[in-house]
Amino acid sequence: MSAYAMPEMYFNIDHGYLEGLVRGFKGGILKQADYLNLVQCESLDDLKLHLQSTDYGNFLANEPSPLTVSVIDDKLKEKLVIEFQHLRNHCLEPLATFLDYITYSYMIDNIILLITGTLHQRPINELIPKCHPLGSFEQMEAIHIAATPAELYNAVLVDTPLAPYFIDCISEQDLDEMNIEIIRNTLYKAYLEDFYSFCSELGGATAEVMCDALAFEADRRAFIITINSFGTELTKDDRAKLYPRCGKLNPYGLTQLGRADDYDQVRAVADIYGEYKELFEGSGTNPGDKTLEDRFFDREVQLMKNSFMQQFQMGTFYSYVKLKEQENRNIVWIAECVAQRHRAKIDSYIPIF
Amino acid sequence: MADVDYQPSKPSSKLSGVSLYPVYAVVYVLALSAILVIAFYYMLTGKGARFDFGWFLESTSPFMWASIGIGLSISLSVVGAAWGIFTTGVSILGGGVKAPRIKTKNLISIIFCEAVAIYGIIMAIVIANQLGTYDPLTASETVIRDSHYAGFQMFAAGLTVGLSNIACGISVGIVGSGAALADAQNASLFVKLLIIEIFATAIGLFGIIVAILQITGVKMGTD
């Protein structure tokens, strides 16, 4: 499959029905009016009642009361998983590979969770329910047979779709010595760059939408890694190896970030780039300011909403998953505030539509 | 554009299929070398004058041109109609899952695409009615001249209506697909998008008008 010049003519043959379906799903994402109803709830049962009138319907109908926030979280995730699996089961290539790429980020989280759990001698059946169902793979049950990460790689991980990400960046002795978080970030970097080159190979409108979205994701990770590494023992060289190179910060921004020592220097790097300058400007740690993470989420939601403006491209599927994730986070945030009766910050969810 | 700065150092690990470009390149090179060999053969052996397009036009039968014209008229129109129907039909199906109210209204887009095929069949019948025969040994010069003229006109009319219907079908299909999906989100948008579709069908109408102008007044054969 190469970059066809006019995707409008060919896209609907294979993917037209699923695009129509995913746009229908997107129409069911909660609007501002629904959020206003939700923040006025007094209890979790109220919340359940309000969610019944939205696209969620009776998804909490079979749960025994009293409801807890973790039950709501699980059921929200389950709804997203059911819709995603439906899309994945009905699609043709290359959309099937595209949807698989979306699941790899959840797979990375699952693998890191399982490795950490195994290293702390947790039984495997305690860990499996904690894994995200979108990122499940066949060898998940077999992870506990390995004693060290290197053995784990040779026996189990080499058959998963994530094997190429291990090969390029982590050698066997690295797996044993490296901190688990560094492994996670190295894998994620390899995954993001691979996804980026897959999308640019697809070409056309998909490449336009997805490359922008993935570039933003890469830059966001670079900033967050840098800020979180102040005060830890992560050396600057190691930190520079974790930055994904497919964003707008590459190469000058990344070299400068690699040398940054504190928050103000990071901010100085962001000031060079127009869109990141305004993200850093409005943020801060004073009460009433939005945090930097919230500004990043805002910008991500903006990018994802814009991708629905183009038809005949696969970015709508990626955006749908991201927006649904954001909606789940919002509902869980509101549910936590309601359950704990601490309504001071109940309005700091990220509005979507 | 994000991909101006970053050149991926290697292709993605999940290959999205084999490129077709080697096939295109081979076909192109073979065709080009065949044409060049034939052209140089004629030129270099002093037979350049034999490469004569006028001789080709005179010695081919006008019946062949006319029949190809009729075939092109219906077949290319059907290609355009089919293209439009599949483009808009799957979007109506996909959008209709979560918004069932769009199902009936959006069949108008399918009807517009079907009209394209109807233009093609009308033209085919009109052209076919003008066919006539003559005996090349006994016919007068006027009849032979008129019949050749008629053959070329029929071919041109069929090509005109066929190609313009392909364009019309594709554009009605793409607009209809957008109309269905927009209607599923916001019911007030449908009427506005229908106006765009009406302009798109107008180009098919232009094709059939020009084809009818080309076909009037031709006289083929002695009957």
Asked if A28 and B180 come within 8 Å (Cβ–Cβ), the reply is no
Task: Look up the pTM and report it.
Answer: 0.90
* Chain A touched by B223 (CB under 8 Å): no
* Chain B touched by A207 (CB under 8 Å): yes
Best of B10, B15, B90 to disrupt the A interface (most A CBs within 10 Å) is B90
Whether residue B66 has pLDDT greater than 70: yes
**What is the structure's pLDDT at A4?**
59
Rounded to 5 degrees, φ, ψ at A282 are: -80, 0
Q: Which residues of B touch A19 (CB under 8 A)?
A: 91, 94, 181
pLDDT for A34-88, tens place per residue? Answer: 999 999 988 898 899 999 989 888 888 888 878 899 999 999 999 999 999 999 9
Q: Give the integer Cα–Cα distance in Å for A93 and B16.
A: 8
CA geometry: angle at B203 spanning B201 and B208, to 5°?
Answer: 100
**What is the structure's pLDDT at A61?**
85
Nearest CA in chain A to B99: A24
Range 247-266 of A in CB contact (< 8 A) with B = 247-248, 250-251
**What type of residue is A4?**
Y
Range 168-207 of B in CB contact (< 8 A) with A = 170, 174, 177-178, 180-181, 184-185
Q: Give the integer Cα–Cα distance in Å for B65 and A132.
A: 66
Which position has the token pair 């032979």? B144
**What is the structure's pLDDT at B29?**
96
Across the range A109-137, mean pLDDT stands at 85
**For residues A176 and A148, is the Cβ–Cβ distance under 8 A?**
yes
- pLDDT band of residue A232 (cuts 50, 70, 90) is confident
Which position has the token pair 């439009």? B84
Nearest CA in chain B to A202: B16
Q: Give the integer Cα–Cα distance in Å for A28 and A18.
A: 15
* Chain B touched by A214 (CB under 8 Å): yes
Out of A17, A100, A193, closest to residue B93 by CB: A17
Q: Which residues of B touch A97 (CB under 8 A)?
A: 14, 16
pLDDT for A248-267, tens place per residue? Answer: 988 888 899 989 888 899 99
**For residues A196 and A211, is the Cβ–Cβ distance under 8 A?**
yes
Q: Give the integer Cα–Cα distance in Å for B138 and A297.
A: 86
* Chain B touched by A90 (CB under 8 Å): no
Across the range A299-308, mean pLDDT stands at 95
* Exposure string over B35-73, b if 16+ CB within 10 A, otherwise e: eeeeeeeeeeeeeeeeeeeeeeeeeeebbebbbebbebb
Nearest CA in chain A to B95: A20
- ipTM for the predicted complex comes to 0.86
* Chain A touched by B109 (CB under 8 Å): no
* Chain A touched by B4 (CB under 8 Å): no
Q: Give the integer Cα–Cα distance in Å for A100 and A98.
A: 5
**For residues A313 and A212, is the Cβ–Cβ distance under 8 A?**
no
Out of A25, A93, A101, closest to residue B98 by CB: A25
Q: Which residue has the higher pLDDT, A20 or A120?
A: A20
Rounded to 5 degrees, φ, ψ at B95 are: -70, -30
Across the range A113-138, mean pLDDT stands at 84
- pLDDT band of residue A284 (cuts 50, 70, 90) is confident
What are the angstrom distances between the C-alpha of A283 and each of A171, A253, A272, A277, A291?
39, 20, 17, 10, 5
**What is the structure's pLDDT at A149?**
66
Q: Give the integer Cα–Cα distance in Å for A194 and A161.
A: 12
pLDDT for B96-115, tens place per residue? Answer: 999 999 999 999 999 999 99
* Chain A touched by B51 (CB under 8 Å): no
**For residues A307 and A315, is the Cβ–Cβ distance under 8 A?**
yes
Asked if A247 and B6 come within 8 Å (Cβ–Cβ), the reply is yes
Out of B2, B91, B95, closest to residue A12 by CB: B91
* Chain A touched by B141 (CB under 8 Å): no
pLDDT for A155-206, tens place per residue? Answer: 778 888 888 888 766 666 666 667 788 889 999 999 999 999 999 888 889 9
